[in-house]
Amino acid sequence: MNLTQAYSPEHFRQEAHQLVDTLADYLSNAQNQTLKTVIPYRLPEDNLEVWQQDFEGGKGNLLAFFEKVIQQSTHLHHPRYMGHQVSPPLPIAALTGLLTGMLNNGMAVYEMGLVSNPLERILSDLLANKIGFTAQASGLLTSGGTLANLTALLAARAAKAPTDVWEEGHSGRLAVMVSEEAHYCIDRAARIMGMGSEGIIKIPTNERFQLRTELLEDYYQQASNKGLTVIAVIGSACSTSTGSYDDLQTIGEFCAQHNLWFHVDGAHGGAVVFSEKYKSLVAGINLADSVVIDWHKMLMTPALATALIFKNVDDSFKTFHQKAQYLWANQGSQEWFNSGKRTFECTKLMMSVKIYSILKAYGEEIFAENVDTLHDLAHDFVGILQANPRFELGVEPQSNIVCFRFVGARQTPESYNSVNAVIRQRLLEEGNFYIVQTTLREKLYLRVSLMNPLTKKEDLIALLAEIENIATTIG
Ligand SMILES: *Cc1c(COP(=O)(O)O)cnc(C)c1O
């Protein structure tokens, strides 16, 4: 096939129709569980071999390839998917992904994002309003929470460091304060920024794995005594392992008192700003200077799509004051419509269009409904766990993340860690459920994050039955 044929509209029409039909059947099979397996797990080397064979098979029928990709992937739309915090995207948003993939407007400059830049502005303003910020607030979209947190900390440094690190490099020793339960990307961001180990001050957490705010003053003074300049405190909303929300109000007040940047990592839980029922979990979020919220976690958008919202939008233009004259005629001005001025990305996915399609189709109520459903489901799961003496909760959950472990009678407390590790491994290999595991204060827990709103109580009951079943075969 030559290039002209490869670009043929008729080929596309045919293949796209077939693919959409295949995906609709897949969705149906996943949702009604005709599809039994949630994860077709294989060891990495075995999986590599499968695909090497496929590759050596040469060029062929693309529909067969699509079907194989579907079959061999982890099925987020299966109600027994309860693993990592990525959403089963709404079909309409995935479909919009086909549209934006075709248009491929690169966004960095206005002319290359005539639609996606205004939509990004509208979505940022909407989210700023939900957070409780005033009209000075707005923000941007970027490729994932990890990159968004790094971008926020760069903005924090531009605003709060005593010298201009961007122009002059490092002269002082900067630091940020964060809970020991924060997502690892905060640690990584601080190291990328040259702060080193000493620049990441980890504050211990309480029995609910929330930052112990009563220690902030003490840690701050200790850092100052060592010659460190603390520029920011990061609150987790919520933490990744246990879904614990830090006390944002108190952290915000502490930051105001010491003139520190207050950043909220709400990659997962920031979505509760859409929910009347659960938004009190992030009380005080409006005190933040910057907030990160992943649209691809509880907000049903295909990955990656992350909002970074600034209380004062001026701050967002100070993050990268690098010269790129050929791109922007007016270097100093605050042009929201030139995406690349404020993001790491030069070329950027048209992610705003996918998010906007959800709002356009269903209104923002759909976000509230999803957040409420997932949180309510976690509460149901707690009830089921507590009614069964062979299970123990890691911590009373605040969000849709539940940590628990099997503590059946045939096992002794010394063996709980290894027993639960075996359970999780077997679940993975059997593939009828997908859950993960985490270690909290040296105890290994099974961890469920309820990301699929079509998961039902019966699925959770079935999960526990399967775990008990596996346990009978261990030691
Ligand atoms: C998921 C998550 C991240 C990382 O976000 P990505 O979009 O996966 O890069 C950061 N912080 C928290 C609290 C998270 O839950």
Q: For 22-54, what is each residue's pLDDT tens digit?
A: 999 999 999 999 999 999 999 999 999 999 999
399 lines ligand 1 (CB under 6 A): no
DSSP string, 175-206: EEEEETTS-HHHHHHHHHTT-TGGGEEEEPB-
Please tell me the pTM assigned to this model: 0.96
Domain count, the chain: 2
Q: Is the pLDDT of residue 361 over 90?
A: yes
83 lines ligand 1 (CB under 6 A): no
Q: Which of 362, 396, 411 is the last residue of a domain?
A: 362
Q: So what's the pLDDT on residue 333?
A: 67
From ligand 1's centre to the CA of 268, what distance in Å? 6
Q: Is the pLDDT of residue 324 over 80?
A: no
In a domain, 300, yes or no: yes
Q: Which three-class secondary structure state does DSSP give residue 77? A: coil
Residues 234 and 147 placed together within one structural domain of the fold: yes
Average pLDDT, the chain: 95
Residues 303 and 336 placed together within one structural domain of the fold: yes
pLDDT in tens, 284-307: 999 999 999 999 999 999 999 999
How many C-alpha atoms does 26 have within 13 Å on its Cβ side?
A: 21
Buried b (16+ CB within 10 A) or exposed e, 158-175: bbbbeeebeeeeeeeebb
Residues 285 and 377 placed together within one structural domain of the fold: no
For residue 421, the enclosing domain spans 365-471
In a domain, 349, yes or no: yes
Residues 254 and 383 placed together within one structural domain of the fold: no
Lowest mean pLDDT among 126-135, 327-336, 367-376, 404-413: 327-336
Residues 221 and 344 placed together within one structural domain of the fold: yes
Find the helix or strand (DSSP H, E) in which 227 lies: none
75 lines ligand 1 (CB under 6 A): no
pLDDT in tens, 442-456: 999 999 999 999 999
Q: Is the pLDDT of residue 117 over 70?
A: yes
Residues 202 and 326 placed together within one structural domain of the fold: yes
263 lines ligand 1 (CB under 6 A): no
Q: How confident is the model at residue 412 (pLDDT cuts 50, 70, 90)?
A: confident
Q: How confident is the model at residue 9 (pLDDT cuts 50, 70, 90)?
A: very high
Q: So what's the pLDDT on residue 339?
A: 87
Residues 337 and 380 placed together within one structural domain of the fold: no
| Minimum CA distance residue for ligand 1 atom 14 | 267
Q: How confident is the model at residue 331 (pLDDT cuts 50, 70, 90)?
A: low
Residues 157 and 266 placed together within one structural domain of the fold: yes
187 lines ligand 1 (CB under 6 A): no
Residues 352 and 438 placed together within one structural domain of the fold: no
In a domain, 42, yes or no: no
Q: So what's the pLDDT on residue 61?
A: 82
Residues 345 and 391 placed together within one structural domain of the fold: no
Lowest mean pLDDT among 14-28, 399-413, 433-447, 451-465: 399-413
How many C-alpha atoms does 184 have within 13 Å on its Cβ side?
A: 1
- CB distance 155 to 310 below 8 Å: yes
Q: How confident is the model at residue 332 (pLDDT cuts 50, 70, 90)?
A: low
